[in-house]
Amino acid sequence: MVLAAASTFLTDLVSGLTASLTPLLVNIAIGLIGGLAAQTMRWVMARKAIADHEYVKGVVARLYDAIVIAVKATQQETVADIKAASATGRIDPTVAAEIKAQAIARAKAYVGEHGISEALKIFAPDELDRLMNDHLESAVHDLRVTERQCAADS
Q: Are 132 and 101 in contact (CB under 8 A)?
A: no
Q: Consecutive 10-residue runs of the chain (154 residues): their mean pLDDT? A: 64 66 70 77 77 85 93 85 75 86 94 92 91 90 85 78
The pTM for the full model equals 0.64
Look up residue 51 and give its DSSP letter: H
d(CA 121, CA 148): 38
**pLDDT value of residue 77:** 84
Backbone conformation region of residue 112, classed left if phi is above 0, alpha if psi is from -120 to 50, else beta: left
DSSP letters for 92-145: -HHHHHHHHHHHHHHHHHHHHHHHHHHHHHHS-HHHHHHHHHHHHHHHHHHHHH
Residue 38: per-residue pLDDT: 78
Domain count, the chain: 1
Q: What is the pLDDT of residue 56?
A: 85
Structural domain for 79, as ranges: 2-153
